[in-house]
C-alpha cells in the first residue's frame, strides 16, 4: 500500500532512465526527491509551525495595548438600612506613547457612606489621562514586551530557515549515500558478469589446450572475490534505500516507501560562482538571530536604565453629572480630580548593578557575534575551496579511468595473442575497478560538498 501511494504521487514526475540503466528502471532525480522532502517531511511541517508561533508572540505583545473594561460593586445592608452602595464602571485605553486614557462612571449612595464618596443621584462621570513623567515616559514594560515580541516573530522566520536548512542537508546525505551505494552495486554487478564470462571463456580454452588449467583457478578466485564484494555492495544499497525512505512522507504524517524500480541520478555540478562572503554572512539566519538577541538585550538594558529615574505619575480626571442639560453642556473646568505619586530609591545600588550586568551581557553577545561571523566566513570559503578541488579531481580521475580501460583492453588483446597472462589481466581489471570506485567516491564527495556549501550559506 505504501509503495502504491508513493508511485501514485511521483510517477508523473520521474523520467525513464538512461540506456545504461535497466529497462524497467525509472530515474528519481535529486530535485524531485528534495521537492517531496521539503513539502511533506514532518520537520518541514514543524518549521511551518514556527511561523505560527511567531505570529502568536506578536499577538501577545500587542495584547498589552488592548482597551480594558473594569467594574465593581460593593453594597452593605444591615438592620433594615443600606449602609453603602458603591458602583463603578470604567474603560482604560493604553497608548504607545505611555499615556493611558481613562473614562468611568460612579454611583455611590448609602446611610453610612463616607462624605467624600457621595455622588449625584444620577451618578458621576469622569474622563482623564494618566502620564508617567519619570520611569515609563519613553519606554515601559508594555512597550518593551511588544518590541521583544516583534523580535521573536523575526526569530521564528530565521529559525524556520535553519530547520529547513538542517533537513535539506540530512536529506541530501541520504540521497547521495543511496547514489553511491547504487553506483557501486551496479558497477560490481557488471564487473561480476564480466569475470564470470571471462572464466567461461578460459574453461573453453582449457578444453582445447590453449592455456593451462591453473588459469581457470585464478579466474575462479577472482569471481569469488567479486561475488563477495557484490554481496556487500548489495547489502549496503538495501540499507541506504531503507534509510532514504525515512525522508519520504505524505503530508507530514504518512510514511512512504520508495519503489524498488527507482534509481538515483546526480545533477550536473559546474564550477560554483564566486560568493560574496561578507554579504552571505551578514544575511545568514544565525547572524540575524545573534543580532536580534543583541537587540533584545539592548531593550532590556533600556528598561533597566529606566529604573534609575524617579517614579512620577500624574493623573487628571474631568468630572461631570447629568443634573442639567447634559454632561458635555454642563462641563466646567472647576469639576475635576487629580493626583500624583512619587518614589525614588536614594542609593539606586540595585538598579545600577542591573544596568551594569546587562551592559556586560551586551558586550559578551557582541563579541560572540564577531566570532560567529569569522567562523562562518571561514567555513564558506573552506567548503568552496574543497568543492573546486573535488571538481578538478574528478577531471583527473575520469582521464585515469579511460587510461586504465585502454590498458585492460590492450592486455586482453595480448592475452588473446598468447603474449600475456591471466595474472596481468586480473591486475589490470582490479586497477580499473578501483579507479571507477574512486570516481564514484569523487562524484559523491563533489555533490556532498555542494550540499554542505548550501548548508553553511543556508541556501534554502
Residues 201 and 284 placed together within one structural domain of the fold: yes
Residues 159 and 222 placed together within one structural domain of the fold: yes
Burial of 24 (0-12, 13-18, 19+ CB in 10 A): exposed
CATH of the domain at 383: 1.20.1600.10
357 lies in a domain?
A: no
Q: Which three cell numbers stand for residue 276?
A: 560574496
How far is residue 195 CA from its own chain's centroid? Answer: 49
315 lies in a domain?
A: yes
Residues 49 and 188 placed together within one structural domain of the fold: yes
Residues 235 and 371 placed together within one structural domain of the fold: yes
Residues 102 and 239 placed together within one structural domain of the fold: no
17 C-beta neighbours (distance < 10 Å), count? 18
Contact 207, 216 (CB under 8 A): no
Strand pairing class (311-321; 336-343)? antiparallel
Report pLDDT for 271: 66
CA distance 259 to 270: 30
395 lies in a domain?
A: yes
Strand pairing class (249-250; 254-255)? antiparallel
Choose among 132, 62, 142, 64: nearest CA to 303.
142
| CA-derived radius of gyration, the chain | 39
Q: Which three cell numbers stand for residue 316?
A: 487628571
Report pLDDT for 120: 85
259 lies in a domain?
A: no
Residue position matching grid coordinates 457612606 = 113
| DSSP per-residue string spanning 357-422 | HHHHHHHHHHHHHHHHHHHHHHHHHHHHHHHHHHHHHHHHHHHHHHHHHHHHHHHHHHHHTTSS-H
The tens-digit pLDDT sequence of the chain (460 residues) is 344 344 444 444 333 333 344 445 688 999 999 999 999 999 988 888 888 899 999 999 999 899 999 999 999 898 888 898 999 999 999 988 889 999 999 999 988 888 888 888 888 899 999 999 988 888 988 999 999 999 999 999 999 999 999 999 999 999 999 999 999 999 999 999 988 888 888 787 777 766 777 777 888 888 899 999 999 999 999 999 999 999 998 887 888 888 888 999 876 666 667 788 899 999 999 999 999 999 999 999 999 999 999 999 999 988 887 665 665 656 667 788 899 999 998 899 999 999 999 999 999 999 999 999 999 999 999 999 999 999 999 999 999 999 999 999 998 898 888 787 778 888 898 999 999 999 999 999 999 999 999 999 998 8
Residues 121 and 240 placed together within one structural domain of the fold: no
Residues 395 and 420 placed together within one structural domain of the fold: yes
Contact 242, 342 (CB under 8 A): no
373 lies in a domain?
A: yes
Q: What domain range is 106 assigned to?
A: 66-137+310-347
Contact 305, 355 (CB under 8 A): yes
Q: 319-332 burial string, b = 16+ CB within 10 Å, else e? A: bbbeeeeebeeebe
| Whole-prediction pTM | 0.83
- 301-304 contacts, C-beta under 8 A, 24 or more apart: 301/355, 301/358, 301/359, 301/362, 302/139, 302/144, 303/139, 303/141, 303/144, 304/351, 304/354, 304/355, 304/358
Residues 342 and 375 placed together within one structural domain of the fold: no
Reported in sequence order, the residue ranges of 143-290 that DSSP labels E, i.e. its strands, are: 249-250, 254-255, 262-265
CA distance 243 to 240: 5
Number of domains in the chain: 2
Residues 79 and 51 placed together within one structural domain of the fold: no
304 lies in a domain?
A: no
Residues 238 and 98 placed together within one structural domain of the fold: no
Report pLDDT for 290: 94
33 lies in a domain?
A: no
Helices and strands (H and E) in the chain: how many? 9, 11
CA distance 168 to 247: 10
CA distance 68 to 396: 75
Residues 179 and 222 placed together within one structural domain of the fold: yes
266 C-beta neighbours (distance < 10 Å), count? 16
Choose among 65, 86, 249: nearest CA to 145.
65
393 lies in a domain?
A: yes
Residues 197 and 130 placed together within one structural domain of the fold: no
By residue count, the chain amounts to: 460
Amino acid at each position: 500500500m505504501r509503495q502504491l501511494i508513493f508511485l501514485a504521487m511521483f510517477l508523473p514526475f520521474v523520467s525513464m532512465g538512461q540506456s545504461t540503466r535497466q529497462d524497467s528502471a525509472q530515474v528519481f532525480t535529486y530535485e524531485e526527491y528534495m521537492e517531496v522532502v521539503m513539502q511533506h517531511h514532518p520537520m518541514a511541517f514543524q518549521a511551518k509551525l514556527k511561523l505560527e508561533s511567531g505570529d502568536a508572540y506578536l499577538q501577545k505583545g500587542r495584547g498589552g495595548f488592548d482597551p480594558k473594561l473594569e467594574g465593581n460593586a460593593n453594597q452593605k445592608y444591615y438592620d433594615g438600612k443600606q449602609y453603602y452602595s458603591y458602583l463603578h464602571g470604567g474603560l482604560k485605553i493604553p497608548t504607545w506613547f505611555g499615556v493611558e486614557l481613562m473614562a468611568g462612571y460612579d454611583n455611590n449612595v448609602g446611610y453610612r457612606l463616607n462624605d467624600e464618596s457621595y455622588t449625584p443621584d444620577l451618578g458621576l462621570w469622569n474622563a482623564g489621562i494618566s502620564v508617567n513623567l519619570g520611569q515609563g515616559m519613553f519606554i515601559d514594560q508594555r512597550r518593551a514586551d511588544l518590541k521583544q515580541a516583534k523580535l521573536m516573530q523575526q526569530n521564528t522566520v530565521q529559525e524556520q530557515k535553519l530547520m529547513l536548512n538542517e533537513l535539506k542537508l540530512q536529506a541530501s546525505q541520504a540521497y547521495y549515500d543511496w547514489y553511491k551505494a547504487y553506483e557501486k552495486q551496479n558497477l560490481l554487478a557488471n564487473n561480476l558478469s564480466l569475470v564470470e564470462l571471462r572464466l567461461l571463456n578460459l574453461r573453453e580454452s582449457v578444453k582445447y589446450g590453449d592455456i593451462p588449467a591453473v588459469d581457470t583457478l585464478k579466474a575462479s578466485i577472482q569471481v569469488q572475490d567479486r561475488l563477495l564484494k557484490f554481496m556487500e555492495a548489495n547489502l549496503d544499497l538495501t540499507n541506504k534505500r531503507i534509510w532514504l525512505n525515512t525522508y519520504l512522507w505524505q503530508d507530514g504524517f504518512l510514511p512512504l516507501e520508495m519503489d524498488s524500480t527507482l534509481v538515483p541520478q546526480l545533477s550536473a555540478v559546474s564550477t560554483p560562482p564566486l560568493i560574496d562572503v561578507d554579504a552571505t554572512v551578514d544575511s545568514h539566519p544565525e547572524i540575524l538571530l545573534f543580532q536580534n538577541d543583541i537587540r533584545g538585550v539592548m531593550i532590556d538594558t533600556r528598561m533597566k536604565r529606566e529604573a534609575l529615574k524617579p517614579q512620577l505619575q500624574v493623573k487628571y480626571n474631568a468630572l461631570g453629572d447629568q443634573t442639567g442639560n447634559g454632561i458635555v453642556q454642563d462641563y466646567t473646568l472647576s469639576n475635576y480630580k487629580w493626583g500624583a505619586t512619587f518614589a525614588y530609591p536614594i542609593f539606586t545600588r540595585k538598579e545600577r548593578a542591573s544596568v551594569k550586568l546587562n551592559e556586560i551581557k551586551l558586550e559578551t553577545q557582541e563579541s560572540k557575534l564577531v566570532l560567529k561571523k569569522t567562523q562562518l566566513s571561514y567555513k564558506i570559503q573552506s567548503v568552496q575551496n574543497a568543492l573546486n578541488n573535488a571538481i578538478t579531481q574528478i577531471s583527473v580521475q575520469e582521464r585515469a579511468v579511460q587510461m586504465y580501460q585502454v590498458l585492460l583492453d590492450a592486455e586482453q588483446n595480448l592475452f588473446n595473442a598468447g603474449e600475456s597472462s591471466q595474472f596481468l589481466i586480473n591486475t589490470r581489471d582490479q586497477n580499473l575497478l578501483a579507479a571507477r570506485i574512486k570516481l564514484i567516491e569523487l562524484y559523491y564527495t563533489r555533490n556532498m560538498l555542494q550540499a554542505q556549501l548550501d548548508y553553511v550559506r543556508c541556501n534554502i
